[in-house]
Structure 1
Amino acid sequence: MGDIHGHFKLLTAALNNLDFNTELDRIFSVGDLIDRGPDSIDILKWLEKPWFHAVRGNHEQMLIDCISGYGDIPRHIRNGGAWLYELQPAVQHELLKILQALPLIIEINLASDQTIGIVHAEAPVIRGNDGWQEAKDAITGKSGAQHQRQALDTALYAREKIEQNDHTPIEGIDRLYVGHSTVPSIMRLGNVVYIDTGCAFSDGALSLVDIQTEAIISMSMSE
């Protein structure tokens, strides 16, 4: 699922259209669950659901940084975070705690022996010839603190691959789903699939991909 940005009512409508079965089906989100949309506080309810899984996005990181005391609050407000500062401190810290627990990457092993990766912005590769295993080693700190900081920044904020229209596949993984960079429709560069179709904007949509069949479902903001 692409970036939700506080549009949880739209997400609910999409799941109703899909006959989503909470006993069998699972959602994996590429992050940016909050800010800009009207229902950001609903993240507390959604992250309690055992079938809803998300990686941390840069908007979650902005909240973490700001509530921890070293973020840029005016920048967060400019980027749709004003709702946060209307909440009681206890609720702000509840959000901080739940978002700090989100992983930076998720890996899914399908029954077809395919390995699927999920990260918010880009695979956190440090060197040009790095693959998925090296990216995991960097983000978990196995490659040292400096590489970990660089990997964190890449995972949350990078746009280099899409800006360069780089079709080089990420070695060691079958497909990698990312958000962050808004695209008119779901697109692919090598084995990296960009699925943020801009539901934060009036002409955008919330898009979902079935990771087994690669079927695409989109709910436009006008629906």
Structure 2
Amino acid sequence: MYRTRYFPSNKKGRDFVVGDVHGHFKLLTAALDKLNFNTELDRIFSVGDLIDRGPDSIDILNWLEKPWFHAVRGNHEQMLIDCISGHGNIPGHIRNGGAWLYELQPDIQQELSKTLQALPLIIEIELSNDHTIGIVHAEAPVIQSNDGWQEAKDAITGKSGEQHQRQALKIALYAREKIEQNDHTPIKGIDRLYVGHSTVPSIMRLGNVVYIDTGCSFSDGALSLVDIQTESIISMSMNE
């Protein structure tokens, strides 16, 4: 099941969006400490790829239970789902940092797969100024050139038919076309869209799409978070 999830504006605290974590949950914890993150008031949203490559991928189960932590599905979550269901490429997953999964008991593997299948493909957050923020892992799943945010959501949820849904899923999880073409065309119907997947040396923007995966799974990379109300950035380098 592929779904979207909507969040009303946070009238009491702050909202942050974090780039691809890739198992570096200790680094994420350090970033939240630095921000004086308040678990009673603040929220954090992830662009996906919470697992693989880093040391603590199994911690995803604990993080997804936290009422203030929300994530979309990334391609690494999809790889896990596919491999556990028998439809994936296990050697390919292992090469991409997934070896930790196959050391676990089958019941834990199943629990992980079930938990990750529940993640939405798109998150939408209302801001207090009537602006709307979107989050998707790789790229907005717009199928036709004149499509906007609503069409992207309809494609993901299957309202536009099965073929469009398959296409949309591939774009949402894997696409890099926009960044490879340096395409500044804004996504219609959304004020700002946060994505991960494509590693950038520092947070960058193409039109109204903001790329926030600053490569925390690489030795020279960092984990970046953005306050979505103020657009201020905090980055934690790998050696912090």
Normalised to the residue count of structure 1, the TM-score between the two structures is: 1.00
Q: State the AA in 2 paired with 1:193.
A: V
Alignment partners' CA distance in 2, 1:143 and 1:11: 37
Question: Residue in 1 aligned with 2:5?
Answer: none
Q: In structure 1, what is the Cα distance between the partners aligned to 2:231 and 2:109? A: 37
Find out whether 1:43 has 2:43 as its counterpart.
no
Q: Give the equivalent residue in structure 1 for 2:27.
A: 10
Displacement of 1:222: 1.0
Aligned with 1:26 (options 39, 43, 62): 43
Query: Are residues 1:215 and 2:232 paired?
Result: yes
User: Hey, what's the Cα distance between the residues in 2 that align with 1:151 and 1:200?
Assistant: 27
Question: Per-residue displacement from partner, 1:62-117 (whole Å, max 9, x unpaired)?
Answer: 00000000100000000000000000000000000000000000000111101000
Q: With a CA cutoff of 8 Å and minimum separation of 6, indicate the structure with the bigger relative contact order.
A: 2
CA distance in 1, matches of 2:189, 2:77: 28
How large is the Cα RMSD of the aligned pairs?
Answer: 0.3
Whole-angstrom CA distance in 2 between matches of 1:65 and 1:201: 25
From 61, 76, 89, give the equivalent of 2:93: 76
Q: 2:8 corresponds to which residue?
A: none
CA distance in 2 between partners of 1:45 and 1:26 (Å): 16
Match of 2:210 among 169, 173, 193: 193
CA deviation map 1:8-31 (0-9, x unaligned): 000000001110000110000000
The reply to whether residue 176 of structure 1 matches residue 193 of structure 2 is yes
In structure 1, give the amino acid aligned to 2:103. E
* Equivalent in 106, 111, 116 of residue 94 of structure 1: 111
Please give the alpha-carbon distance, in whole angstroms, between the structure 1 residues aligned to 2:146 and 2:180: 19
2:51 is paired with a residue whose SS is coil
Distance 1:5 1:129 in 2: 34
Equivalent-residue separation in structure 2 for 1:190 and 1:91 (angstroms): 41
Paired letter, 2:80: L
Q: Which runs of 4+ in 1 moved over 4 A?
A: none
Looking at structure 1, the residues matched to 129 and 229 of structure 2 have their Cα atoms a distance apart, in angstroms, of 9
